[in-house]
């Protein structure tokens, strides 16, 4: 599909992609370097503080030395990348590292070279950003000791730890709703209000995106996360395009259907996604087939959910006091026993759904999350609560989750991944979470903002019912009334990218 406008790229210095390449990516790369330095430092110390047996085994000390050496090599590569990025060098081909999409990334790079757009400040932003995370993955996967390392894991966990206040708030709301369940079920108008609250919670959960922390404070984020009816009402004016009524109407016609989630960020956002899928009065309306969730199989855009993050989120919710103790502005008090009980109940339920396969995940073998939806035999890899990412073990495996780390606009899903396409066509609603999914839905094209969403979807429009829940963190925006646009332009010049 050839859209009638070009994609966003950093040649426009007033756009967010320029700021991203010039300022935000260097910060992200530096954070990776720092993280590996820390790990290497800890490895150096280990023989001094470890238990005598493992500390002095020769084999172990060889392993540690080899890991430190590999760590240093990764640091060097990331440093070189940062240097080249700042000087607008040519983007190098992704090495054949045995992981998906190498050919596709590299052939796109060749096409860009023909148009002299294969450098950091000239390539289309969407392509370059996906390329960046895929290239970083190649640095790790080609090693022996850092193969499955997620350099963003510590950051994800750290920010999740600061979401305690909002998490407890949601657990309390869930608890209160349980007592109102009977009334809700018998009154469709109440059920609709409930649905809207859930969907908005899920929307604002997307405000917690760590790649944006380079210019958003934690206090800002906590404000966006805060829960409760008044907060929802106050934020209503920030919703620029709102199709909740249409979604509700659609869902009321679905019986025994399937709702799928293309996930975005780990931690708080994932919690709000799971919460929408929780056992609540909407169940009877929406689906009896498990929601199918698509994580990313490699560390992606800093905060995106990988299968281990998924498991870890549930594990953290089950032992919340060990995680949610650090405080930001308002969450400084330890949770009351009552709050803890509310959260435990919710977390137990989620854990049960995971173990019973009520939540299915599109990864090879299902990673112990119940029926994983994959087109191959299960692999032996297991997701744990460590910083390991889930990878496919056989080169031939094809997971329906692989597609989400290709640099492909969604109007090309059918061409690029026929199986996924067929699968999505069987869905009664596909919920695309977050900004990156929105950019891929619209191709990250410079559409005039009053272009209809349907037009911006290109050939994807009408293929299956879809809902995009996105807080704005990139320039592209469509489907807006000219009047709404004029008002917002006047109020907040930064509305396209500030996530608010
Ligand atoms: O520029 C902000 C940004 O990093 C974009 O590059 C990307 O589209 C987005 O944030 C990721 O946000 P989300 O997690 O909502 O997809
Ligand atoms: Mg994300």
Whether 216 shows a pLDDT value over 50: the answer reads no
Q: Which atom of ligand 1 is nearest to the CA of 471?
A: 15
**Which residue among 435, 472, 496, 497 has the greatest number of ligand 1 atoms within 8 angstroms of its CB, and so is best to mutate?**
435
Determine the pLDDT at residue 330.
47
Q: Is the pTM of this model over 0.95?
A: no
**DSSP-derived pairing of the beta strands 429-433 and 466-469:** parallel
Determine the pLDDT at residue 224.
53
Question: Is residue 9 helix, strand or coil?
Answer: coil
- Better pLDDT: 226 or 133: 133
Whether 390 shows a pLDDT value over 50: the answer reads no
Which ligand has its closest atom nearest to the C-alpha of 439? 1
Centre of ligand 2 to C-alpha 152, Å, is: 12
Determine the pLDDT at residue 208.
61
Whether 372 shows a pLDDT value over 80: the answer reads no
28 confidence band (pLDDT: 50, 70, 90): very high
Choose the most confident range, by mean pLDDT, from 17-26, 153-162, 338-347. Answer: 17-26
ipTM: 0.97
Spatial CB neighbours of 249, under 8 Å, sequence gap ≥ 6: none
Centre of ligand 2 to C-alpha 225, Å, is: 16
Whether 422 shows a pLDDT value over 80: the answer reads yes
What average pLDDT does this structure show over 291-295? 76
Determine the pLDDT at residue 4.
98
Distance CA 30, CA 298 (A): 19
207 confidence band (pLDDT: 50, 70, 90): confident
Determine the pLDDT at residue 370.
31
CA-nearest of 102, 95, 99, 94 to 148 is: 99
Which ligand has its closest atom nearest to the C-alpha of 305? 2
326 confidence band (pLDDT: 50, 70, 90): very low
- State the virtual CA torsion across 118, 120, 123, 128 in degrees, nearest 10: 110
Distance CA 47, CA 218 (A): 36
- Better pLDDT: 276 or 222: 276
| Residues paired with 148 in a beta bridge | none
Name which residue sits closest to atom 2 of ligand 1, judged by CA.
Answer: 473
- Better pLDDT: 55 or 413: 413
- Better pLDDT: 379 or 401: 401
- Side by side, which strands form the sheet with 429-433? 360-361, 287-294, 257-262, 429-433, 466-469
* Percent of the chain residues past pLDDT 70, beyond the cut: 79
Which ligand has its closest atom nearest to the C-alpha of 440? 1
Determine the pLDDT at residue 367.
38
Q: Which atom of ligand 1 is nearest to the CA of 439?
A: 8
Burial class of residue 414 in the structure, from the number of CB atoms within 10 Å of its CB (0-12 exposed, 13-18 middle, 19+ buried): middle
48-83 pLDDT, tens per residue? Answer: 555 555 556 888 889 999 999 999 999 999 999 999
Determine the pLDDT at residue 67.
97
Spatial CB neighbours of 240, under 8 Å, sequence gap ≥ 6: 472, 477, 480, 484, 488, 495
Residue bearing tokens 């925006």 = 477
Q: What backbone phi and psi angles, to 5 degrees, belong to 399?
A: -105, 145
Least confident of 54-58, 113-117, 226-230, 436-440: 226-230
- Better pLDDT: 341 or 185: 341
Beta-strand ranges (E) seen in 218-362 are: 257-262, 287-294, 360-361
CA 195 to each of CA 20, 108, 277, 344: distance values in angstroms, whole numbers, following the listed order: 36, 42, 11, 23
Least confident of 15-19, 21-25, 317-321: 317-321
CA-nearest of 263, 139, 249, 132 to 205 is: 263
CA 459 to each of CA 72, 261, 262, 419: distance values in angstroms, whole numbers, following the listed order: 46, 21, 19, 17
87-130 pLDDT, tens per residue? Answer: 999 999 999 999 999 999 999 999 999 999 999 999 999 999 99
Whether 6 shows a pLDDT value over 50: the answer reads yes
382: left (phi over 0), alpha (psi -120 to 50) or beta: beta
Whether 369 shows a pLDDT value over 70: the answer reads no
Which ligand has its closest atom nearest to the C-alpha of 468? 1
| Ligand 1, pocket residues at CB < 6 Å | 16, 20, 129, 206, 209, 211-212, 264-265, 301, 303, 434-436, 439, 473-474
Centre of ligand 1 to C-alpha 217, Å, is: 16
Determine the pLDDT at residue 18.
98
CA 186, 338, 268 angle in degrees (round to 5)?
75
Domains of the chain: 16-147 (1.20.930.60), 162-491 (no CATH)
Determine the pLDDT at residue 51.
56
Least confident of 68-72, 239-243, 380-384, 426-430: 380-384
Q: Which atom of ligand 1 is nearest to the CA of 206?
A: 15
Q: What backbone phi and psi angles, to 5 degrees, belong to 304?
A: -65, 150
489 confidence band (pLDDT: 50, 70, 90): very high
Q: How many residues does the chain have?
A: 500
Determine the pLDDT at residue 221.
47
What average pLDDT does this structure show over 155-176? 83
Determine the pLDDT at residue 495.
95
Q: What backbone phi and psi angles, to 5 degrees, belong to 446?
A: -80, 55
Distance CA 319, CA 315 (A): 7
Number of other residues whose CB lies within 10 A of the CB of residue 196: 17
166 confidence band (pLDDT: 50, 70, 90): confident
Buried-state track 335-354, b at ≥16 Cβ within 10 A, e below 16: beeebbebbeebbeebeebb
What average pLDDT does this structure show over 287-298? 72
Task: State the helix-helix crossing angle for 337-356 and 307-318, rounded to 10 degrees.
Answer: 140
Least confident of 106-115, 268-277, 432-441: 268-277
Task: State the helix-helix crossing angle for 58-86 and 125-141, rounded to 10 degrees.
Answer: 160
Distance CA 316, CA 323 (A): 7
Whether 279 shows a pLDDT value over 70: the answer reads no
**Which residue among 8, 133, 212 has the greatest number of ligand 1 atoms within 8 angstroms of its CB, and so is best to mutate?**
212
CA 313 to each of CA 103, 271, 394: distance values in angstroms, whole numbers, following the listed order: 34, 7, 27
Mean pLDDT in the chain? 83
341 confidence band (pLDDT: 50, 70, 90): confident
């Amino acid at each position: 599909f050839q859209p009638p406008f070009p994609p966003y790229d950093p040649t426009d210095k007033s756009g967010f992609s320029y700021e991203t390449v010039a300022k935000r990516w260097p910060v992200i790369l530096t954070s990776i370097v720092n993280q590996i330095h820390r790990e290497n430092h800890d490895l150096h110390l280990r023989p001094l503080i470890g238990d005598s047996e493992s500390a002095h085994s020769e084999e172990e000390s060889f392993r540690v030395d080899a890991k430190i050496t590999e760590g240093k090599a990764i640091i060097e590569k990331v440093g070189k990348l940062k240097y080249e990025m700042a000087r607008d060098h040519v983007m190098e081909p992704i090495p054949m590292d045995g992981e998906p999409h190498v050919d596709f990334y590299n052939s796109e790079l060749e096409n860009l070279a023909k148009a002299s757009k294969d450098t950091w400040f000239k390539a289309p932003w969407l392509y370059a950003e996906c390329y960046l995370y895929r290239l970083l993955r190649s640095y790790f996967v080609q090693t022996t000791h850092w193969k499955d390392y997620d350099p963003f894991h510590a950051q994800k966990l750290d920010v999740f730890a600061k979401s305690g206040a909002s998490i407890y708030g949601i657990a309390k709301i869930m608890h209160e709703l349980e007592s109102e369940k009977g009334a809700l079920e018998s009154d469709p108008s109440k059920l609709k209000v409930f649905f809207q609250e859930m969907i908005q919670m899920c929307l604002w959960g997307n405000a917690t995106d760590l790649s944006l922390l380079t210019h958003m404070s934690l206090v800002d984020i906590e404000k966006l996360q805060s829960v409760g009816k008044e907060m929802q009402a106050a934020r209503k004016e920030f919703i620029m395009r709102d199709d909740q009524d249409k979604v509700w109407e659609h869902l009321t016609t679905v019986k025994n259907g399937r709702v799928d989630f293309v996930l975005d960020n780990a931690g708080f956002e994932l919690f709000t996604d799971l919460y929408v899928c929780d056992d609540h009065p909407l169940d009877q309306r929406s689906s009896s087939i498990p929601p199918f969730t698509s994580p990313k199989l490699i560390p992606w855009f800093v905060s995106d959910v990988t299968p281990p993050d998924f498991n870890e989120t549930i594990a953290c919710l089950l032992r919340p006091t060990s995680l949610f103790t650090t405080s930001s502005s308002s969450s400084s008090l330890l949770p009351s026993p009552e709050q803890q009980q509310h959260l435990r109940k919710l977390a137990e339920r989620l854990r049960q759904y995971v173990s019973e396969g009520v939540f299915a995940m599109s990864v090879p073998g299902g990673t112990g999350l119940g029926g994983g939806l994959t087109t191959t035999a299960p692999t032996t890899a297991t997701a744990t609560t460590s910083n390991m990412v889930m990878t496919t073990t056989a080169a031939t495996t094809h997971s329906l989750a692989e597609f989400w780390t290709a640099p492909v606009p969604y109007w090309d899903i059918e061409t690029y991944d026929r199986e996924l396409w067929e699968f999505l066509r069987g869905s009664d609603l596909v919920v695309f979470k977050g900004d990156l999914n929105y950019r891929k839905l619209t191709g990250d094209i410079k559409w005039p903002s009053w272009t209809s969403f349907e037009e911006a979807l290109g050939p994807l429009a009408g293929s299956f019912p879809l809902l995009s829940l996105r807080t704005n963190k990139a320039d592209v925006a469509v489907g807006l009334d000219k009047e709404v646009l004029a008002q917002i332009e006047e109020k907040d010049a930064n509305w396209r990218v500030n996530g608010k």
